[in-house]
Structure 1
Amino acid sequence: MKSSATTSVATRCGRVLRLLGHLAVGVFIIATRYSRLAQAERAVVTRRWAQHALKILGVSIKVQGINPGFYPPNTLLVANHVSWLDIIALNSCTVSRFVAKREIRDWPLIGWLAYVAGTLFIDRGNRRDASRVNQILAEAMQNGGCMAVFPEATTSDGSGLLPFKASLFEAALLAGGTVQPVSLRYQRPDGSLLLEAAYIDEISLLQSMGKVLSVPEIEVEICYGKPLKAGDAGLDNRFLLAEAARAEVARGLRLALEAPAAAASQATSETGA
Structure 2
Amino acid sequence: MKSPATTSFPTRCGRVLRLLGHLAIGVFIVATRYSRLAQAERAVVTRRWAQHALKILGVSIKVQGVNPGFYPPNTLLVANHVSWLDIAVLNSCTVSRFVAKREIRNWPLIGWLAYVAGTLFIDRGNRRDASRINQILADAMGNGGCMAVFPESTTSDGSGLLPFKASLFEAALLSGGTVQPVSLRYQRPDGSLLLEAAYIGQISLFESIGRVLSVPQIEVEICYGQPLRAGDAGLDNRFLLAEQARREVARGLRIALEDSPQPNSSSEEKSQA
- For the aligned pair, the TM-score class normalised by the smaller chain equals over 0.9
1:93 equivalent in structure 2:
93
Query: Could you list the per-position Cα deviations for residues 48-85 of structure 1 after superposition, in whole angstroms to 9, with x for gaps in the alignment?
Result: 00000000000000000000001000000000000000
Measured after TM superposition, the shift of residue 261 of structure 1 is 2.1
1:118 equivalent in structure 2:
118
Measured after TM superposition, the shift of residue 3 of structure 1 is 5.1
1:268 equivalent in structure 2:
267
Q: Is the 8 A contact 2:165 2:268 kept in 1?
A: no
SS at 1:43's partner residue?
A: helix
Measured after TM superposition, the shift of residue 260 of structure 1 is 3.5
Query: Could you list the per-position Cα deviations for residues 140-173 of structure 1 after superposition, in whole angstroms to 9, with x for gaps in the alignment?
Result: 0000000000000000000000000000000000
1:214 equivalent in structure 2:
214
Measured after TM superposition, the shift of residue 269 of structure 1 is 3.7
2:247 equivalent in structure 1:
247
Q: Is the 8 A contact 1:61 1:219 kept in 2?
A: yes
Query: Could you list the per-position Cα deviations for residues 192-242 of structure 1 after superposition, in whole angstroms to 9, with x for gaps in the alignment?
Result: 000000000011100000000000000000000000000000000000000
Runs of 4+ displaced beyond 4 Å: none
Q: Separation in 2 of the partners of 1:3 and 1:51?
A: 29
1:154 aligns with 2:154: yes
Aligned partner letter, 2:234: G
1:179 equivalent in structure 2:
179
1:197 equivalent in structure 2:
197
1:105 equivalent in structure 2:
105
The alignment of Structure 1 onto Structure 2 pairs a total of residues equal to: 272
2:50 equivalent in structure 1:
50
Query: Could you list the per-position Cα deviations for residues 115-154 of structure 1 after superposition, in whole angstroms to 9, with x for gaps in the alignment?
Result: 0000000000111100000000000000000000000000
The RMSD of aligned alpha carbons is: 1.2
SS at 2:90's partner residue?
A: helix
Q: Is the 8 A contact 1:79 1:249 kept in 2?
A: yes
Alignment of 1:40-79 (within 5 A): 40-79=40-79
Q: Is the 8 A contact 1:228 1:245 kept in 2?
A: yes
Measured after TM superposition, the shift of residue 2 of structure 1 is 7.5
Q: Is the 8 A contact 2:79 2:183 kept in 1?
A: yes
Q: Separation in 1 of the partners of 2:142 and 2:3?
A: 46
Long gaps (5+) in structure 1:
none
Measured after TM superposition, the shift of residue 23 of structure 1 is 0.2
User: How high is the TM-score relative to the length of structure 1?
Assistant: 0.98
More displaced 10-residue stretch of structure 1: 2-11 or 167-176 = 2-11
CA separation of 1:138 and 1:60: change in aligned 2, threshold 3 A:
same
Q: Is the 8 A contact 1:239 1:267 kept in 2?
A: no
Aligned partner letter, 2:97: R
Measured after TM superposition, the shift of residue 263 of structure 1 is 4.0
CA separation of 1:92 and 1:3: change in aligned 2, threshold 3 A:
farther
Aligned partner letter, 1:67: N
Query: Could you list the per-position Cα deviations for residues 99-122 of structure 1 after superposition, in whole angstroms to 9, with x for gaps in the alignment?
Result: 000000000000000000000000
Measured after TM superposition, the shift of residue 272 of structure 1 is 2.1
Q: Separation in 1 of the partners of 2:105 and 2:161?
A: 26
2:19 equivalent in structure 1:
19
Q: Is the 8 A contact 1:120 1:133 kept in 2?
A: yes
Identity %: 86
Query: Could you list the per-position Cα deviations for residues 170-189 of structure 1 after superposition, in whole angstroms to 9, with x for gaps in the alignment?
Result: 00000000000000000000
Long gaps (5+) in structure 2:
none
CA separation of 1:2 and 1:76: change in aligned 2, threshold 3 A:
farther
